[in-house]
Amino acid sequence: MGEWFSLLPWVLIQYLVIILIFVFFFYFAKVSQKKVFLTMLVVMYGFEFLWQNPLLFSVDSFLWASALLIFIWSILTFVPYWIAERV
């Protein structure tokens, strides 16, 4: 439990950085959702490899882990945007 709590500040920083990256692309750069999705993939794999996600380092679990990560990151990226824009 202590190790988990020691990682909390880094997790918070990661989520704040993710939000700021996509706020920039949606509102300041006015990039299409398709390009934001491709950017999300690059950022997602960057963060996941930075955090050394063990599911991505195994050939057996790479595909289903990628699908799960794309689902989670898409929710984090697009649902707040759609709510804000009332899409």
> Are the C-beta atoms of residues 22 and 77 closer than 8 Å to each other?
yes
Question: What is the reported pTM?
Answer: 0.77
Confidence tier at 14 by pLDDT (50, 70, 90): confident
Q: What's the whole-number mean pLDDT along residues 57-86?
A: 90
SS3 of residue 1 by DSSP: coil
Report the distance separating Cα 14 and Cα 67, nearest Å.
20
d(CA 35, CA 38): 5
| Residue 65: pLDDT band with limits 50, 70, 90 | very high
- State the pLDDT confidence band at 68, using cuts at 50, 70 and 90: very high
H or E element, residue 51? none
Handedness of CA 25, 66, 53, 5 (dihedral sign): positive
Q: Which two tokens stand for residue 83?
A: 């709510």
